Chains A and B, each alone.
Chain A
Amino acid sequence: MLSFPETKPLAAPIGLPRLRWPFSIGETIAVTSLALVVILSIVGPLLSPYSPIIPSGDQFLPPGSRGHLLGTDNLGMDIATRLMVGARTSLFAAVVTTACTATLGLIVGTIAGFVGGWLDTILMRITDIFLAFPGPIVAMAISAALGASLSSSIVGIAIVWWPLYARIARGEVRRTATSMHVEAARMSGSRGIPLVLRHILPATLPTVAITASLDIGGVIAVLSALSFIGLGTPAPAPELGLMASTGMQYLLSSWWIPVLPGLCVGVLALLCNYTGDGLRGALRSRGV
């Protein structure tokens, strides 16, 4: 008998699949770091000897200065303390925004998708109009109209963002509602709200949750951009976008004042994106 010139070895059976840690190494690092950042942003300001809004030392101290790990800004406020408080605000605001938006979208989308008919048409025409807007620009206009503050930024983002979730939820509900298992459930006598809760929503929820977890990073970035152009809480509030924006004029002399808050936003968004992506992978592999 002939044999192949190159033969790859036959892999041995490994046994039954075990329940494994669902994240890759990179994602594990991201999840752990995110947890650390959250703890740091909550505990850190309490332990810090400085106030985030009162000057506490010399101006323009570079990072690594004695007593001021990340230096001080143009007014002599401790940057490390301000960053921790800013990160806390950012994360909290992003989670609140995303949660409200996703819930609103899920409710509207589920109603539109399940009830169908004219209600569906009306609701989807409304989302069509919203989706035809340049979202972030409209969010800026709305929060400007409401007057600059963090809460108006949140409202602005929520108003332009919910149609996206409504679309996703509606699509999923429609897809599930016409799928065979729901038709079979209808045939077995399920109707109305029990049918939605028992046979449809469990299929839609993961998709919406995954989208939301992937969006948190983006919302952090958008919120910081709004704050950067002056739509957040006014100075001297320790908001990351605002800190970067007021620090811009010192870029060439004291680079750390605008760069550090920007980096902070970038890292937060990165960790959230990585975690969201890991979550998606974990849920997919479990076949949800």
Chain B
Amino acid sequence: MTPQVLDVREMSISYGSRVPALLAVSGVSFSVESGQCLGVVGESGSGKSTTGLAIQGLLTRDPSVSATGSLTIAGTELNPVVERGWEGIRGRTVTTVFQDPMSSLDPTMTIGRMLTFVAGSKAESLRWLDEVEIRDPAAVFRSYPHQLSGGMRQRVMIALALARRPALLVADEPTTALDVSVQAQILKLLRREQEALGCGIVFVTHDLGVAKAMCDEVVVMRNGCIVERGTSARVFGAPESEYARRLMESRLTMATDRHRPVGLPEATVVNAMVESLNEGRAETATTTVDAVTAEWNARSLLWSDFAPADVGEVSVPPGASPGAAPIAALEFTAVTKSYPTGGGIARLKTVLSEVSLRVEKRESVALVGESGSGKSTILRIAAGLESASGGSVQRSDVDADAVQVIFQDAGASLTPWLTVEQLLTERVRNSKRGGKVSAKDAARLVGLAMDRVSLDRALLTSKPSQLSGGQRQRVAIARAIVIPPTILLCDEPTSALDVSIASTVLNLLNLLRHALGISVLFVTHDLAAARVISDRILVISEGQIIESVPAENVSSTVSSDYARRLLDAVLS
């Protein structure tokens, strides 16, 4: 039997400094053997990060933290909140790879100095840099963290953590801050190093795909408790608990059915669906929450069911009725964009070169690429937040109501000191169509928008800080569609959200685009999400669109290496 390197029994941890005092982890038990990788999976607030900090001995400095239960690392019993006993364990028997490699490395110190402190000698440091597949170890040895790329920094972080040959490695969301293709390389590296060193790994993550690819065993946490445990194959294949089942269902892969709502029926989305189905229909033909839920569960609810015969009186701008003219909702013709760099007057950095794309009325197009590929720049130009350096941009309507944007971070996109009602009413008043309506009609439009995203009208008087992350993103959507635009631009609207909330937002967006007949341009790094929301996928790299494939069968049709890599990054 392989030796046990970590044994956690009935561990509870609470933060006394928070008011009310927060029980972050409650009665958690698990163990890790040498050479084994245990995934601790959960959404934000599940207690997974506190669990991670506790087993690294990083909670001993905060006097307000208290703990009960038992924690044994490589045969030594320790208290996660008392410093005594941790010397010789922390940093030697157990080491860590942190999430954000930029802030986790001292900016004033060279990689060499940091690594030599841990590895002992320069030769050994260089060997470790080579070990983590850094191409030019001697150059990196002399560099400062800010001179390296994110992936390189994380490799350095791994070298630091492994150089002491720990028995247990804690990986705390090690790939979350990285680009998808780099992510896969880092995971491969961690796997290889684990086999070489034979250490145990505790892998803390919110990303189910990463956990599935990386871990032998998985515990799923929610509200500080473990709700499910088992081998990776079992938990992902046949989850037992209701929560884990919901979580696994929400996970997007390349096999997710894109014609139906994602995940299990959820009150928010179902309510919005009922609202949408009943709108404009006779009293007698109304459907109910139960009926829609049943249909969803039976997998017979299709997005096409929501496409209206008539789009409705408030949403059709005059002279732009569907199918009237074959003009696109958005068209880019040979658009270029370059920024001056600090170097000199004539030096320009080209972000986009000759990008042409066309989004038809009612069409949904996804733009997929990694950070720095220029995808966000396209969105900002389409939104009019930036102007193109060359080429032409055409929108179907000339007036300002044609385009609306949903940003990545909903919390930051809502003005903190204004109420939901003020934000939505302002949008109505600022629009061409809404500017003339009476106060009563404006209130009706605002109310309708709230219903469409299934937000309680009582929340109209709330400020953004009083709402949850999911509610904020729904307010942002409501603001974008209160006066329905011709095209809705979405900038990674789900990447900052937990899996279950992300699927709600995706479902809502899909519902609204079908029900209101809006075009969508969806910018993301995640091919799986792109596939679900769009009809067509454009792959963008280094400022150029390199491929356009139908969403239906992405996996079989992509041809470029780059797109293949993005595809591999969607860990099935």
- Chain A positions near chain B (C-beta within 8 angstroms): 1-17, 179-190, 198-199, 202-203, 287
Contact = CB atoms under 8 A, between A and B. Distances in A.
Interface in B1-47: 9-10, 12, 14, 16, 19-21, 23
Contacts of B9: 1-2
B404 interface: yes
B416 A16 contact: no
A187 B412 contact: no
A180 B413 contact: yes
B417 interface: yes
Of A9, A10, A186, A190, most buried by chain B (CB within 10 Å of CB) is: A10
B412 A9 contact: no
Given A4-B67, A187-B405, A10 B12 contact: yes
Nearest to B65: A8
A184 B66 contact: no
Contact of A179 (B21, B81, B412): B412
A15 B66 contact: no
A225 to B, nearest CB: 37
Given A188-B427, A198-B418, A4 B70 contact: yes
B431 interface: yes
B21 A12 contact: yes
Contacts of B67: 4, 7-8
B385 interface: yes
A68 B79 CA distance: 66
Of A5, A17, A187, most buried by chain B (CB within 10 Å of CB) is: A187
A4 B20 contact: no
A17 B19 contact: yes
Contact of B415 (A6, A15, A187, A198): A198
Given A15-B20, A181-B415, A187 B476 contact: no
Contact of A6 (B82, B417, B423): B82
Contact of B68 (A3, A16, A198): A3
Contacts of A185: 415, 426
Contacts of B409: 180
A7 B79 contact: yes
Contacts of B383: 187
B77 interface: yes
Contacts of A3: 68-70
Given A4-B82, A13-B20, A189-B400, A181 B68 contact: no
A2 B75 CA distance: 13
B414 to A, nearest CB: 6
B241 interface: no
Contacts of A187: 383, 385, 403-405, 480
A181 B70 CA distance: 46
18 contacts: A4-B79, A7-B79, A8-B65, A8-B81, A13-B21, A15-B19, A17-B19, A179-B412, A180-B407, A181-B413, A184-B405, A184-B414, A187-B480, A188-B404, A188-B423, A188-B427, A189-B400, A198-B418
Contacts of B337: none
Contacts of A190: 426, 430
Of A7, A179, A184, A199, most buried by chain B (CB within 10 Å of CB) is: A184
Contacts of A4: 67-70, 77, 79, 82
Nearest to A12: B21
A135 B479 CA distance: 48
A14 B14 CA distance: 13
B426 A180 contact: no
A203 B416 CA distance: 9
B465 interface: yes
Contacts of A8: 65-67, 81-82
Interface string B477-518: 001100000000000000000000000000000000000000
B68 A14 contact: no
Interface of B: 9-10, 12, 14, 16, 19-21, 23, 64-70, 77, 79, 81-82, 383, 385, 400-401, 403-405, 407-409, 412-418, 423, 426-427, 429-431, 465, 476, 479-480
Of A8, A183, A190, most buried by chain B (CB within 10 Å of CB) is: A8
B408 to A, nearest CB: 8
Contacts of B20: 13-16
A204 to B, nearest CB: 12
Nearest to B408: A180
Contact of B77 (A2, A184, A199): A2
Nearest to B434: A189
B483 to A, nearest CB: 9
A2 B70 contact: yes
Nearest to A16: B20
A116 to B, nearest CB: 13
Contacts of B413: 180-181, 183-184
B19 A14 contact: yes
A188 to B, nearest CB: 4
Nearest to A13: B20
Given A9-B66, A180-B409, A181-B412, A188 B479 contact: yes
B267 to A, nearest CB: 26
Nearest to B81: A8
Given A6-B82, A184-B476, A188-B427, A1 B415 contact: no
Given A2-B70, A198-B426, 12 more contacts: A1-B9, A3-B68, A4-B82, A7-B66, A8-B67, A179-B412, A180-B413, A183-B385, A184-B405, A186-B385, A187-B383, A199-B415
A268 to B, nearest CB: 34
B82 A184 contact: no
A2 B79 CA distance: 11
Contacts of B16: 11
